[in-house]
Amino acid sequence: MAELDKTRTEVDVPGDWTYASAPESRDIVRIADSYGYYVGGEWLEPAETYETIAPRDEEPLAAIGQATAEDVGRAVVAAREAFADGWSALPGSERAKYLFRIARILQERSREFAVLESLNGGKPIKESRDVDIPLAAAHFFYYAGWADKLEYAFPNRRPRPVGVAGQIIPWNFPLLMLAWKIAPALACGNTVVLKPAETTPLTALLFCDVLRQAELPAGVVNIVTGDGRTGAAIVEHEDIDKIAFTGSTEVGKAIQRHVAGTGKRLTLELGGKAANIVFDDAALDQAVEGIVNGIYFNQGHVCCAGSRLFVQESIYEPLVAKLERRLTTLRVGDPLDKNTDVGAINSAAQLEKIQELVASGVEEGAEIYQPPCVLPEKGYWFVPTVFTNVAQSYRIAQEEIFGPVLSVLTFRTPEEAVEKANNTPYGLSAGVWTEKGSRILWMAQRLRAGVVWANTFNRFDPGSPFGGYKESGFGREGGRHGLEPYLRFDE
Ligand code: NAI
Ligand code: MG
């Protein structure tokens, strides 16, 4: 009994329920001091380098090569030789073995890739760990499955590879965009020269080690690094048969002008200003989660981000109240912390663009809401932001911000929602929230967007084609459609 008497009746209840930090260890990944170009299965020394940094604290990570036109030329020669020396003639089932191998190695080394992706790009580790890396592996698995079935995918059309593909990718999903580009190209028997974005080259360079482990024949995949000048050298190279580009509409237009008349194939996946449309019969709490995922996922650095929220007038006030309350629970901070919801902005340049557009929103008369939030001192950060009282003519309703910034607008009828949603030069994606299945179909038929999500947002699957209308580009990636740009069907 004496023991029992000692039992305390008062328990220490923490007064503060904030999350303790739960950092992922970066020891799992080894970063070299400097990297060259991966050409013909070997590393070429760069003549000129620049520094790649961690956007969370501006820590220098490695010296990266700035490839010249001659470097690109060497990569194209290696790719052409590998194409002619057997890769293009290999039976599809043999090509599939390499792709399956790459997919499995990516899975095995997923933690390493996730840490490196978050470190170099600034995205939360829970996204790189649960979305980017698993989806990248899934793309290789998916296209491995097609490699020996092209004749079934395109019956009686004699599908054959196009040749050497030049692929230029952005910094928002570095490894995933690499997978979207390389997996279908290789499945169809092409060889590749790929350039990652200048701010996020590290996972593409680590991927070269995966290629070595998979014993992919030399020259089938070549990786060159550098900024837009290197990209331009790829676009301008005469011995490239197909260009695949994901990035800004501005550069996409320049590439299209350059490629016109050269006979080069081209697919472009460019910007967006997606409408996320919530009807008054939608499940509001579920919609709020979808809105948050739609615009704050990956700091809003997403071409298909739901950056324009259209709310039916009758539910405007309760929905905005729920949304603003939800924003106060988002954790902004260290990308390597497993509890982080919103990480670092990718670069100083992107942060400046976001700040400029947000200032224009305030100037033009929109009402700004930002939750209380303590930002780290070093690095590039932006507080998740909601604009209400937005007119369609405001820049924040027209231009791609590519940051964690939402513009809220209203509508009364489905017709008005469609008209406002389509009032943009872009057409990449859209979202519809309603209980009515018939209304989802009615809306999906009228929205000029490559992807329309219903009661969800930002869902990706390798089996589902992705791509745009209008200034969002053309061509599809993913699914059977994603094979076509890498095949020719002439006799
Ligand atoms: P960007 O279009 O300049 O860069 C994308 C890729 O293209 C990078 O690898 C870059 O080195 C390369 N590049 C740049 N200039 C080139 C040229 N003349 N020829 C060939 N390749 C070239 O995009 P940036 O400047 O990084 O971002 C600007 C805006 O573009 C963002 O704020 C966002 O609005 C949009 N963007 C859209 C993306 C998407 O997923 N659709 C991805 C990245 C940016
Ligand atoms: Mg640019």
Least confident range of 7-11, 94-98, 224-228, 383-387: 7-11
Active-site annotation holder among 117, 198, 269, 400: 269
- Quick check: CB of 170 below 6 Å from ligand 1? yes
pLDDT of residue 17: 77
pLDDT at 4: 58
Q: What is the mean pLDDT of residues 167-185?
A: 98
pLDDT at 318: 98
Mean pLDDT value of segment 407-425: 98
pLDDT at 360: 98
State which amino acid sits at residue 300. Answer: G
In sequence order, which ranges of 277-315 are alpha helices (DSSP H)?
Answer: 284-296
Q: Quick one: which atom of ligand 1 is closest to the CA of 169? A: 9
pLDDT class of 10 with cuts at 50, 70, 90: confident
Q: Report the distance separating Cα 115 and Cα 24, nearest Å.
A: 7
303 is catalytic: yes
- Percent residues over pLDDT 90 in the chain: 95
Q: How far is the CA of 197 from the centre of ligand 1 (A)?
A: 8
Give the chain's length. 491
Q: Using a 6 Å cutoff on CB, does residue 428 contact ligand 1?
A: no
| Banded model confidence at residue 9, pLDDT cuts 50, 70, 90 | low
10 Å CB burial of residue 87 (0-12, 13-18, 19+) is: buried
pLDDT band at 16 (very low <50, low <70, confident <90, very high): confident
Pocket test for ligand 1, best of 248, 358, 458, 469 (most atoms within 8 A of CB): 248
pLDDT tier at 8, thresholds 50, 70, 90: low
Task: Looking at the CA of 305, name the nearest ligand.
Answer: 1
Q: Is 254 in the pocket of ligand 1 (CB under 6 A)?
A: yes
CB atoms closer than 10 angstroms to residue 448: 17
Band of residue 133 on the pLDDT scale cut at 50, 70, 90:
very high
Q: In the structure, what pLDDT confidence band is assigned to residue 18 with cuts at 50, 70 and 90?
A: confident
The pLDDT of residue 7 is: 61
Question: Does residue 143 carry a pLDDT above 70?
Answer: yes
pLDDT at position 14 is 73
Instruction: Using pLDDT thresholds of 50, 70 and 90, give the confidence band for residue 2.
Output: low
Residue 198 Cβ contacting ligand 1 at under 6 Å: yes
Q: 478 in helix, strand or coil?
A: coil
Cross-sheet strand order for the sheet of 451-454: 367-369, 385-388, 405-411, 308-312, 275-278, 429-433, 451-454
- Structure-block tokens of residue 193: 């020269």
pLDDT for 297: 98
Element (H, E) at 123: none
267 lines ligand 1 (CB under 6 A): no
Query: Is any ligand 1 atom within 6 A of the Cβ of residue 159?
Result: no
Question: Which residue type is seen at 181?
Answer: K
Q: Mean pLDDT, to the nearest integer, of 61-83?
A: 98
Query: Atom 30, ligand 1: which residue's CA is nearest?
Result: 248
| 208 labelled catalytic | no
Nearest listed ligand to the Cα of residue 450: 1
